[in-house]
Chain A
């Protein structure tokens, strides 16, 4: 890639959302879609112009200026049609830069994306687009969606923003308070998308985890966060500590039992512990339970000496807070390893009766693994073969094939 392209990409990644937000602040006449088009246009102009004239001394200022002029022309043109002239005397800057509750512009946009009328998935997509400044192709890639699918979600979100005049602007202090819970959910989902092992090693996904971690830390440092933020941050740190140990030297997926625990990042685990400690004393959220489970895994000497009894009790708490079959599956796994095998199989068999859930590869993989451990080899093989049909990801299929080979030997 040549230098100009690199610089433009870099600036895009850094300023796209900020420039769009600035245009929205700048004039009520500009809607989100127009703002995006104008900013996009300005980046294209930069690419063409810099290729012939070289990169200017203040590249982001250059793009801002072009962006501002394009916006002005657009407004003037529309006003002229209606016979009104426009006052050109304005400042193209962030009006909230000095007296803002939320200092970091990225966070301000994040709170805007956390609009309660939008589904969590849409919130994640627009956060990736306007806060993390990913291009649509990259969003599709990290969310395992088609470009068309992302486009559709984005256009529906824009439509909603336009119709209901949902402002993509900084909410006031009260709204800030009520939205923190949604912001947590967005960060949690962002981190999870990056953390999913189904894609193997990929830089982009690791960056997503880093972005989520950074934003959570900014919430805490800016005193916007609460005890729940600390619990969420601890949870993400515990998981981040194990990030690299999940994939083996040949790119294969390693489960918790197979991972080399000496590769887990001890410093990160210690750091996470301080935030888990900080999170105590307020209302207990699902992040508290999940972080405590992650803590128990991270501090166990090996797989077998894990405090499975406590882990299973925590899953039971989660289940009481939010009953759902996916948590039940995790609960049954913890029960099995804590020695309550009969109870574990009872839950697994009940889950298997659910028509939707019977299609879930992790349920069948778990049934395969436990049957293998119990010596029911032929039953185990059947479950594993069923699992092979239920995942699209090669790395997960590879993991299942490895389990099937264990039966043969």
Chain B
């Protein structure tokens, strides 16, 4: 089995304006999905990220970073296992928030 990092991407601006109910509902949907991944023994871990951050490079520290402007900024991560990249992608397609078109997920295999 291979390990994969799922980078959950969404519009952070929209996300920070979400009502609490909508936010909790989305968390709940992700939770149910994680439960099904765990059942098949494929879930490692996962957490959402706050919308605030810092962007650091050689020259300076940008206080907010370019995150808020990006339409598909990283809003959370998960680690899963799968047979191969195709299967990992196929698993990601079953995420309810993907089906609703609310988020996009970047699937990256972890080096070992």
Partner of B90, one of A118, A324, A327, A390: A118
Does A121 contact B31, Cβ atoms closer than 8 Å? Answer: no
CA distance A56 to B87 in the complex (A): 45
Q: How far is the CB of A104 from chain B (nearest CB, A)?
A: 24
CB distance from B109 to the nearest CB of A (A): 14
Chain B window 92-107, contacts with chain A (Cβ cutoff 8 Å), 1 for yes, 0 for no: 0110000100000000
Q: State which size class the interface on B falls in.
A: 20 to 34
Q: Which residues in window 29-81 of B have CB below 8 A to A? A: 30-31, 34-36, 38-48
- Known A-B contacts A122-B90, A156-B93, A355-B48; the reply to A360 vs B31 at CB < 8 A is yes
Indicate which residue in B36, B47, B86, B93 contacts A354 across the interface (CB closer than 8 Å): B47
| In-complex Cβ contact of B94 among A119, A323, A355 (8 A) | A119
Q: Cβ of A149 < 8 Å from any Cβ of B?
A: yes
Asked if residues A356 and B31 are in contact (CB atoms below 8 Å), the reply is yes
Of the candidates A116, A286, A325, which one forms a contact with B83 in the assembled complex, judged by CB atoms under 8 Å apart? A116
**CB-CB < 8 A to B99: which residues of A?**
149, 152
The answer to whether A161 has its CB under 8 Å from any CB of chain B is: no
A356 and B27 within 8 A (CB): yes
Please give the number of chain A residues whose Cβ is less than 8 angstroms from any Cβ of chain B in the complex: 31
B16 CB-CB contact with A under 8 Å: no
Complex CA gap A2/B99 in Å reads 40
Question: In the complex, which of the residues A117, A121, A189 contacts B86, with contact meaning CB atoms closer than 8 Å?
Answer: A117
B1-41 near A? 1/0 per residue, CB < 8 Å: 00000000000000000000000100110110011101111
Q: Contacts A324-B38, A326-B43: A116 and B87 contacting too (C-beta < 8 A)?
A: yes
Q: Is the CB of B48 within 8 A of A356?
A: yes
The complex places the Cα of A192 from the Cα of B39 at a distance, in Å, of 9
Interface centre among A185, A327, A356 (most CB of B within 10 A): A356
**Contact in complex: A185, B41 (CB < 8 Å):** yes
Q: Bound complex: CA of A398 vs CA of B38, how far in Å? A: 26
From B30, B42, B47, contact of A120 by CB (8 A): B42
Asked if residues A182 and B83 are in contact (CB atoms below 8 Å), the reply is: yes
A336 to B30, CA, bound (A): 28
A359 within 8 Å of B by Cβ? Answer: yes
Chain B contacts of A304 at CB under 8 A? none
- What A residues does B87 contact at CB under 8 A? 116-119
CA distance A327 to B34 in the complex (A): 13
Q: Mark A305-349, 1 if CB is under 8 A from B, else 0.
A: 000000000000000001111110000000000000000000000
Q: What residues of chain B have their CB less than 8 Å away from a CB belonging to chain A?
A: 24, 27-28, 30-31, 34-36, 38-48, 82-84, 86-87, 90-91, 93-94, 99
A-B residue pairs in contact (CB < 8 Å), sample of 19: A118-B86, A119-B90, A119-B91, A120-B42, A149-B99, A153-B94, A160-B90, A182-B83, A189-B39, A189-B40, A325-B38, A325-B45, A327-B38, A355-B48, A356-B30, A356-B48, A359-B24, A360-B31, A360-B35
7 tightest CB-CB pairs across the interface, nearest first? A119-B90, A119-B91, A117-B86, A120-B40, A116-B83, A326-B38, A359-B31
Known pairs A119-B90, A149-B99 / 16 extra A-B pairs, C-beta < 8 Å: A116-B87, A117-B84, A117-B87, A118-B90, A119-B82, A119-B94, A120-B40, A121-B36, A153-B94, A185-B41, A189-B40, A327-B38, A354-B47, A355-B48, A356-B30, A359-B27
